[in-house]
Structure 1
């Protein structure tokens, strides 16, 4: 499978930046991921990410670590952190940038160690792919936690992307049997298109209910300015 994301990160890291990643979604949205943003430092990160990094403690697993921004910040502040990503290119970039421990694998197949903090930033819970997969995904994350460990994740309630009914303030959501936060994305970079992949945006109440069903406490730590939030999950 083409590593579109990894190729783009490698190009930028090696000084070959000429264009950004294009994304196409099942919501009929076209967008771009600016490559410089994927190499941001702490000061350039959203408040939710900054808050999560300040709350991280102990041995840390940075899931979906990308170019290693979060891992490097934590490592430079004395933490033992492992970056994990299923992109070969991303992990190469992490190592070249100085991340001491970086693993190229899917989180769903990773079971090597237990951690005090699991980080899933930039909507990392999206890796669950669908609402049906959220329960087993949460169970797997919980299996990687030390007894008093925590999961820090951010996500967005994308209800705002649907048309609003002026009369009652509700939203027009397609009745296709799917949860409205289930989205399919395709990435394109330098004319090459990757395989479509499923992604999940989950509203806080739905996340909280899923956590309760799987033996996890779910605390709302912080709300962002645009339907986004930071949550802290712990074992009950």
Structure 2
């Protein structure tokens, strides 16, 4: 894995590098992604993200936490958050930004004996979804 997003996040945070990052997905052509987007504050997040953060309760697992912007805001709101990312570079940035519960692993790979999580065990989670410009929280179980 080349970890280009993680390297860009690391360089932006520690070296103040402003290189361009391009993302590719299955929905269209490559698109420039400003690295600063991973470091946005609550007021710079879209309204939908702000509403989702406001509705989060219980212990929260932020999967694909990147630079930790959502997790940091949730901690500021008094929530217990585990920030999970596959990138060692991103995890180092999150720790430097003040997150204390950061896990660096790939949740989609087969279970490792040293994993903090038992991905085969059912876990409770909360889903926030958008319906006519509002957020609804749904609790469910993943098994």
* Superposition TM-score, scaled by structure 1 size: 0.51
Check 1:92–1:232 CA distance in 2 against 1; reply closer, same or farther (3 A cut): same
Check 1:78–1:24 CA distance in 2 against 1; reply closer, same or farther (3 A cut): closer
Check 1:10–1:223 CA distance in 2 against 1; reply closer, same or farther (3 A cut): farther
- Alignment correspondent of 1:91: 91
Checking the alignment, whether the CA contact within 8 Å between 1:62 and 1:83 is kept in structure 2 is yes
5+ residue gaps, structure 1 = 114-139, 153-219
Root-mean-square deviation (CA, aligned residues, Å) is 2.6
Question: Which is greater in Rg?
Answer: 1
- Alignment correspondent of 2:101: 101
- Alignment correspondent of 2:73: 73
Three-state SS of the structure 2 residue aligned to 1:29 is strand
- For residue 107 of structure 1, report the CA deviation from its aligned partner: 2.5
CA distance in 1, matches of 2:60, 2:50: 15
Checking the alignment, whether the CA contact within 8 Å between 1:42 and 1:73 is kept in structure 2 is yes
- For residue 30 of structure 1, report the CA deviation from its aligned partner: 2.3
What pairs up with 1:57-206 in 2 under 5 angstroms? 57-108=57-108, 109=111, 112=117, 143-145=122-124, 149-152=125-128
Deviations 1:34-56 (A, max 9, x none): 01111000000011110110010
- For residue 144 of structure 1, report the CA deviation from its aligned partner: 1.8
Checking the alignment, whether the CA contact within 8 Å between 2:55 and 2:137 is kept in structure 1 is no
CA distance in 2, matches of 1:93, 1:111: 20
Check 1:87–1:28 CA distance in 2 against 1; reply closer, same or farther (3 A cut): same
* Superposition TM-score, scaled by structure 2 size: 0.81
Deviations 1:120-163 (A, max 9, x none): xxxxxxxxxxxxxxxxxxxx699221xxx5223xxxxxxxxxxx
Three-state SS of the structure 2 residue aligned to 1:84 is strand
Is 1:9–2:9 an aligned residue pair?
A: yes
Q: 1:235 aligns with which of 119, 137, 140?
A: 140
Check 1:102–1:9 CA distance in 2 against 1; reply closer, same or farther (3 A cut): same
Structure with more contact order per residue of length (Cα contacts < 8 Å, sep ≥ 6): 1
Corresponding pairs, count: 136
Checking the alignment, whether the CA contact within 8 Å between 1:221 and 1:232 is kept in structure 2 is no
- For residue 59 of structure 1, report the CA deviation from its aligned partner: 1.2
Checking the alignment, whether the CA contact within 8 Å between 1:66 and 1:91 is kept in structure 2 is yes
